[in-house]
Amino acid sequence: MKLIIYTDGGSRSNSATEPGPASCAFVAFDEQHKYVACLNETLIGSNNVAEYRGLLLAVNSLDPLLDFTSDVDRIEFRADSQLLVNQMTREWRCKDENLIALQHQIREILAFYSGIVISYVWYPREENRDADYLCNLALDGTIIDNMFGPLPVKTKVRGISAGQLFRAGRLTESRPLRVDPEGYALCGSCKERLTNCKCPPLEEAV
What domains can be seen in the chain, in order of their start residue? 2-139 (3.30.420.10), 155-206 (no CATH)
* DSSP3 helix / strand / coil % (the chain, rounded to 5): 35, 25, 40
Say yes or no to pLDDT of 151 above 80: yes
pLDDT at 62: 97
Q: Poorest-confidence range of 38-42, 57-61, 68-72?
A: 68-72
Which pLDDT does position 108 carry in this prediction? 97
Cα(190)–Cα(206) distance, integer angstroms: 17
Are the CB atoms for 43 and 23 separated by under 8 Å? yes
% of the chain at pLDDT higher than 70: 78
Rounded to two decimals, what is the model's pTM? 0.75
pLDDT at position 127 is 87
Query: How does residue 75 score in pLDDT terms, banded at 50, 70 and 90?
Result: very high
The pLDDT tens digits of the residues spanning 15-29 come to 667 778 999 999 999
Mean pLDDT of the chain: 85
If we measure between CA atoms, which residue out of 164, 169, 172, 173 comes closest to residue 203? 164
3-class DSSP state for residue 68?
A: helix
pLDDT above 80 for 167: no
Q: Following DSSP, what letter does each residue of 127-166 receive, concatenated?
A: G-HHHHHHHHHHHTT---S-TTS-----S-BTTB-HHHHH
The pLDDT tens digits for 80-139 are 999 999 999 999 999 999 999 999 999 999 999 999 999 999 999 888 989 999 999 999
Angle between helix 129-139 and 47-60 (nearest 10): 110
Reported confidence tier of residue 4, pLDDT bands at 50, 70, 90: very high
